[in-house]
């Protein structure tokens, strides 16, 4: 989870809203995304599903756009690579 948060942060240039480490539950994390990237949260979520078969919630919350990343035992490092690559292509 920490690696996924770090890689997406490097892509967007945004700092995480929760710290890395074992003090926080590592299965699920809200990841900030750029809100002024020319695509709505709904459109981003739809594109991730339609074009990349990635099902992940994306919501605007005040001034933030958040993606809820949840990594389970059936997810692999290749799944994280796929998500980061998809975000790089869209954003």
User: What is the reported pLDDT for 26?
Assistant: 66
Q: Is the pLDDT of residue 70 over 70?
A: yes
User: What is the reported pLDDT for 54?
Assistant: 97
In Å, how far are 10, 46, 53, 72 from 65, measured between CA atoms?
Answer: 16, 15, 21, 23
Q: Is the pLDDT of residue 6 over 90?
A: no
User: Reading across the β-sheet that carries 64-70, which strands appear in turn?
Assistant: 28-33, 64-70, 58-61
Whether the CB-CB separation of 45 and 91 falls below 8 Å is answered with no
- Quickly name the fold that domain 2-90 has: 3.90.1150
User: What is the reported pLDDT for 38?
Assistant: 84
Q: Mean of the per-residue pLDDT values for the chain?
A: 88
Domain boundaries, the chain: 2-90
pLDDT tens for residues 19-53? 666 666 667 889 999 887 789 999 999 999 999 99
**Each residue of 3-23: b (16+ CB within 10 Å) or e?**
ebbebbeeebebeeeeeeeee
* Separation CA 50–CA 8 (nearest Å): 20
pTM of the complete model: 0.82
User: What is the reported pLDDT for 43?
Assistant: 96
């Amino acid at each position: 989870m920490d690696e996924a948060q770090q890689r997406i942060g490097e892509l967007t240039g945004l700092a995480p809203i929760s710290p890395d480490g074992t003090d926080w539950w590592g299965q699920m994390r809200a990841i900030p995304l750029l809100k002024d990237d020319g695509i709505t949260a709904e459109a981003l979520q739809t594109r991730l599903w339609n074009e990349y078969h990635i099902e992940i919630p994306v919501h605007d919350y005040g001034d933030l756009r958040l993606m809820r990343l949840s990594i389970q035992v059936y997810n692999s490092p290749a799944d994280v690579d796929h998500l980061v690559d998809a975000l790089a292509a869209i954003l």
